[in-house]
């Protein structure tokens, strides 16, 4: 299966240096994900808040990219497929 939402990828810059919601709540995160439509930074599903996934459910922005150093993968929540940003 292929991602049918690549046309929604924009040239975004992270809005924060960490998970937006975790920073507000004083929580820690495991890994960070970048919304490729609006630049929202959320934490991964291994984190307490799971804010990247919650951002998708709230906004329907389909694609996020790993913000971890050396990682070039992304994920389309709608099509449930991995993407390569290398």
Q: Is residue 29 part of a domain?
A: yes
Tokens 């804010």 -> residue: 51
Which of 47, 79, 44 is CA-nearest to residue 65? Answer: 44
pLDDT attached to residue 79: 97
pLDDT attached to residue 1: 80
Instruction: Tell me the sheet residues that pair with 75.
Output: 64, 82
The pLDDT > 70 percentage for the chain reads: 100
CA atoms 51, 15, 84, 8: torsion sign: positive
CATH number of the domain at 43, please: 3.30.40.10
Q: Is residue 1 part of a domain?
A: no
Mean local confidence (pLDDT), 21-46? 98
Domain count for the chain: 1
How far, in Å, CA of 24 to CA of 56, rounded? 19
Range of the domain at 27: 6-84
Q: What is the pTM of this model?
A: 0.95
For residue 27, what are the CA distances in angstroms to 21, 47, 49? 8, 9, 8
């Amino acid at each position: 299966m292929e991602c049918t939402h690549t046309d929604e990828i924009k040239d975004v810059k992270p809005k924060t240096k960490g998970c937006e919601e975790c920073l507000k709540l004083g929580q820690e995160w495991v890994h960070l994900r970048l919304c490729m439509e609006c630049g929202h930074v959320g934490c991964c599903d291994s984190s307490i808040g799971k804010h990247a996934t919650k951002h998708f459910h709230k906004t329907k922005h389909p694609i996020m990219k790993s913000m971890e150093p050396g990682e070039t993968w992304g994920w389309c929540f709608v099509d449930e497929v991995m993407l390569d940003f290398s």
